[in-house]
Structure 1
Amino acid sequence: MAKVIWSDNLRQVLKREHGKGWSVRDHRGRVQLTRIFEDRSRSAVYLPLTWTADNATSILNTVAAIHDLMDSRKVSLKEAARLNTQALAEPAKSAKTVADKGWDAVAADFLKSRGDRRSSTLRDLKLRVERAVAVINQKPKPRDGMSVLEAYAAAYFKEMAPGGQGRKRNLNDVVAFLQFAVDRCGAPDRFLPPPKDRINELIGTSPTSTTERLTPPIKADQFTALLDALEADGRHDLKLAVALVGYLGLRPAELAVLRVGDDEKARVGSIKRNIQTMQQADKPPRLVMPLEIDGRNNEGARAIAQFASGLVKLPKALRKQIDLVEEKGRFQDVGAEFAQQLSRCKHWQAMFKADPRITPYSLRHGFAWRATVGQNKIPVRTTAALMGHTMQVHHRHYGAWVDEAAIEEAVGMHNAVVA
């Protein structure tokens, strides 16, 4: 008799809350939900709940969630049930709360969907998602997307500079996680990320300008002085590596994919392994050419010839890391070893003492400087192609170098020709 009473009450509440056409019944101990539409067609699904009086409230809550998903997302009963039960519904007789069990499952699904990222990206992403779940499960619990981001910022942004890449990358990953939870796992719409301007408030504004934040370029005289110092120290191997990076504008890790063909032209393959590059099938290696420096007797071209001949080799430790790329599945250690080799050079140490902002990437930026601001400028499109990035990226990183002096020089040269 008790079973009839609780189930009858359940059906009455269901009809009162959602109207006709929604019904539940016991099917071998499981809850079967049926939706009968106006044309008398019907659809049925099983809920991850046992047919017991103790689960009456859970049954009502689950049906309500499925009803709302069908209404807000315009999806079928089966799709709404999948969205609701895949990650956020509470399994029968579970001791954990819905949020605890559900958000852990959402995190697992999200990380699985990003499994094609490179290992370092996945490592950072996993940490940020774990932090986001911890924030969502803390007390008091955040109730929407904005409060999740606010709680995340309060917990983890103390050591991250306002306006910096650290805050941006953290929030971008948490935003993607929340969007995935709503779109793919049936999280309530209130967990959708807030508008971009609200997110930017949490990122903050950097106290330094874009020009100040940009890794400074190593100018031509600094670059050639470094090469001469390495020559004097007998470090012909490291000089070759530095010359290739500086004269060709390479990312240091691109030494691993630098090849010289039978046509004596140098090309580099891709070192970026992410979802965008993986979708670009058979992208050919890009042509790289040296931007020579006056008075150095085509030193860049000679470095390419030395590399191709094998008469001068890259540092042994650097070659070891290049050989390990395929086994490790990453290129970062090649760049790290290049930086390690440079850090042991006394002349580099003196350069770093004079300007602690310089990094091995300053050699690549020196290439961009000579192409963009030097006396023999080359078109931005050509420079971007040689460096292996888009014009938008080039303008974003190097546009700050076009100051008043550069503007006056360019306009003066144009007007002089016209005159």
Structure 2
Amino acid sequence: MRSKKCLDCGEEKPASEFWKLKASKDGLAHYCKACFGLRNSRSYRKKQASLGKETRAYRRHSAVPEGMKYCPQCKVVKPIEDFGRNRASSTGLATYCRPCHNKVMADERRRNHGSGRNYQLKLRYGITEQQVEQMVLEQGGVCVICLRADAKHVDHDHLTGLVRRILCFKCNGGLGQFADDPARLRLAADYLELRGSHARGMCIEIGVPVFGGPDRVRWDPNWRTRGDSLKSARHYHRRRRYGINDEDAEWLLKMQMGQCAVCFDFPAEHVDHDHVSGAVRGMACSSCNTGMGQLRDDPIALRRAADYVEGRLVQTVTGEDGRTRLSLTVPDVDPASVPRGGWKAFWEQDGEYRKQTLPFDEELDTPVWEGPGPAGVLSHE
């Protein structure tokens, strides 16, 4: 292989270490690539210094070992696994390592958009942080559905992408579990009040809309009877927590034809029970069971959520001063005038109004569940 001596460092190096130069006799530059870079660097930095500008220290790019990459932010040579992907780059890798990339992007968002939250709000919902704060102020600082928790999460219509209102974490998650379906939300409200078709079926089969419960040992003389063989861990868990066993769960599934007792759209997977009495209501699918829990097992909250999805809950009215404001309940009250925790006085009235105005709601001639008595039966009014 042809070699040449560099005039700067004085080392004998292969011809591949020299740039090509047609004006030279041998067709190669007088200096090796490393020395040529140092010469250019000194010239560039001298010119920048004369202009009063600062420059970073010189670094030769080809000095990075194979399988490694230099991060210009932290100035450290790192494995290529520490860099994200970027198809627009000739190397296919991001310019900065992952920690530096996150920091640079966060700084850029703060510089261009004021904050990372403001950037995300504009990107996902097309609104600004100031608009969100104004919406929260109009709501009196509380979630428009439950009227209890702080309004912190932007809720939007997944079909149109339009922002509806600012909700709390639980109500926002509960709507998602019910797939923003007002019919399922109202079915869940009837189910919790033991007014739905499942409760009627239970009354026809066993005379009561619920059964079991941790107190079953007090009124069922055969509950402590041991079987001839050991059962599964789920069997004993159900006995201890819900007052039912595997046979009871299988009977429930058979009566429900394997479907959720709330929506009848998805397979029943979870035992649903009353968190106050402990009695079992039925078997529910994962989304209905979780959604009812996030909406606090409250029929009023479920009906308010249904009206909210349909656009019937939050109304814009004109106040006595001629200004427009929001109305969140029936009877109407200015949200800005209600102190934190003061919505309880309007909660029951609003719930009764929404229960009576449902188009398909009906009174059922069924007994009222008051919990298991000494004989484990319902009390009739």
TM class, shorter-length: under 0.3
Higher helix share: 1
Higher strand share: 2
Radius of gyration: which is bigger?
2
